[in-house]
Every structure is written in structure tokens, then in C-alpha cells.
Amino acid sequence: MAARHNEFIFRLEDEEVALIRDFEGMYRQCEDPHGQSRVLENLSYHLVTVTLDRAVAMLSHEGRLAIADLGCGLGYFTRHLKQRYPEALVYGLDISSVALERAARRAPDCTFRRVDLKTAGLCIDGGRRFDLAVALDCLYYFEDHEIHGVLANIRALLAPGGFLMVGYHLPEDMRFGLYLRSLADAERLLIPHALDIVYSFEVHNRLDRTYSGAPVGRHLYFLARDPS
Ligand SMILES: C[S@@+](CC[C@H](N)C(=O)[O-])C[C@H]1O[C@@H](n2cnc3c(N)ncnc32)[C@H](O)[C@@H]1O
């Protein structure tokens, strides 16, 4: 049976998918959509964490490291980032104010802002740039005609030499966000935004459903970098 949170996100109409994207309603009605409280039990997130460690070690920045968790939801991974890099300034960005309220209680030492990643010319706190941005299980909520605007926004949030980690979950019956199914797709999406893909990996998960409740399937991860 489909998880209830999906009712707020998409609807099937004659085999066609209509995106609803009522994230505010979803967070009002669902305590723990997508099993977010257990994301860190998912083996893929451990792989993401060690990859981020390497990226952070390669950053040569002056002053405080700034990190953004894009589509941070309930803030579990945001809190994890702060615990992992305690000296860093860690932001969580999401479209849902309900999610952000709960995230702020969970991670009071992080900064949370309500943003719509689709907003043209998105600007955070008067132009803050981030050395590292992560977008985990978030980018498939955009339509094909929206994704380049979203990527332009994310690109503009990156500091020179900054990294972007994209995580993408593709269960077998995935019906939307299908523009990112391979490394070649990622290159088509990111290279026009002057981002180099410096590391990628693909996980075929047939293990985690019983362990963490996370849906099984393919998971794609891309670490991209501003080459300047
Ligand atoms: C599946 S949750 C992922 C949460 C978290 N990143 C994780 O991995 O557990 C996707 C999140 O993206 C957020 N989101 C969707 N569309 C957005 C938009 N246009 N701007 C900002 N956030 C958005 C949703 O509110 C939701 O919290």
C-alpha cells in the first residue's frame, strides 16, 4: 500500500502523474513522512557522510564553513551535519514552515529559512553563499520545465570552489522526476550550470526495507563542484 504522505505529493490520473506537492499539508497530517526520523539508519546516508567528509577536507576556505541542507524537511540530516561539523554554520532550507518549526526544535544550533527553490533569483540572508550544499531526496519534486531554474538558484548559492551533493531515490515504480536516472543525465543537468561532477555512486538497495523502513530501489548520488 502506498504511504499516506504520497497522497499530498502526487495523484495518478489515467496513468498520468499529477504533482500536488502540498508539503505543508503533508507535514501537518503526517508525523514522520518518508520515515525521515530513520534516514541515518539507511546505509546510503553513511556513504553520503564519508563523501561529504572528503569534500569538506578539500575545501580551502577562510572563516567559518557554511553548509546548506536543501529541502531539509524535519531537520534530521541538518542536525547530523551540525554534529559532524560543529564549527560550521549550518542552514536548513525548506518550503514547509511546519517542517521548519519542527526542525528548529530538533536542531536549535542550526539556522532555518523558509524558501521555495523555484523562486527566480533566490537569495538567502542578503546573499549568503555556501561551501557545501546537500539536496537529499528533494530534487525529484520539480517538473522538467522547472529543474533548470532550481539548479540555477542552487548554483548561485554556492561559494567559489563549493560542493553540491545530490541524492536521488528511484524506486522501481517512480513516476515523476525522471530527468535524473543516470550519470549521463546528471551531466546533462549540471554541466550547463558550470558544475563539474567530481564523484558519483549508485546504490541498489534490497536490504534496507526491513532494517530501517526506508523504501528499497536505486539511489543515485552526485558530488558536483564549482570549478573556480
Ligand atoms: C523527501 S523530503 C527529504 C527530506 C530530507 N532531505 C531527507 O533526506 O530526509 C523532501 C523535502 O523537500 C522539500 N521541498 C519540496 N519542494 C521544495 C521547494 N520547492 N523548495 C524547498 N523545499 C522543497 C519538502 O518540503 C520536503 O521537506
pLDDT of residue 206: 81
Do 132 and 165 meet the contact criterion of CB atoms below 8 Å apart?
Answer: yes
Residues 6+ apart with CB under 8 A from 118: 142, 146, 149, 150, 153
The answer to whether the CB of 8 is under 6 A from ligand 1 is no
Distances (CA, A) of 74 to 33, 34, 35: 9, 10, 10
Cα separations in angstroms, 199 against 55, 64, 88, 195: 10, 24, 23, 12
Residue 139 Cβ inside 6 Å of ligand 1? The answer reads no
Name the β-bridge partners of 40: none
List, in order of start, the domains of the chain with CATH numbers: 35-225 (3.40.50.150)
205 lines ligand 1 (CB under 6 A): no
Contacts (Cβ under 8 Å, ≥6 apart) of 10 = 17, 18, 19, 20, 21, 175, 176
pLDDT at 3: 66
With a 6 Å cutoff on the Cβ, whether 118 touches ligand 1 is yes
Of ligand 1's atoms, which has the minimum distance to the CA of residue 76? 9
Q: Which residue has the cell 564519508?
A: 50
User: Which amino acid residue places its CA nearest to atom 9 of ligand 1?
Assistant: 36
Dihedral of CA 100/25/215/204: which sign? negative
pLDDT value for 212: 55
> How many residues in the chain?
228
Q: Which atom of ligand 1 sits closest to the CA of residue 26? A: 25
Residue by residue, pLDDT tens for the chain (228 residues) are 456 888 999 988 887 888 999 999 999 999 999 889 988 888 889 999 999 999 999 998 678 999 999 999 999 999 999 999 999 999 999 999 999 999 999 999 999 999 999 999 999 999 999 999 999 999 999 999 999 999 999 999 999 999 999 999 887 778 888 889 999 999 999 999 999 999 999 998 887 766 555 667 889 999 999 998
- The predicted pLDDT at position 41 comes to 85
Give the predicted TM-score (pTM) of the model: 0.96
d(CA 80, CA 85) in angstroms, rounded, equals 9
Distance of CA 170 to the CA centre of its chain: 14
Q: How far is residue 196's CA from residue 179's CA, in Å, rounded to a whole number?
A: 18
pLDDT recorded at residue 1: 41
The minimum-distance atom of ligand 1 relative to the CA of 23 is: 25
90 touches 111 (CB < 8 A): yes
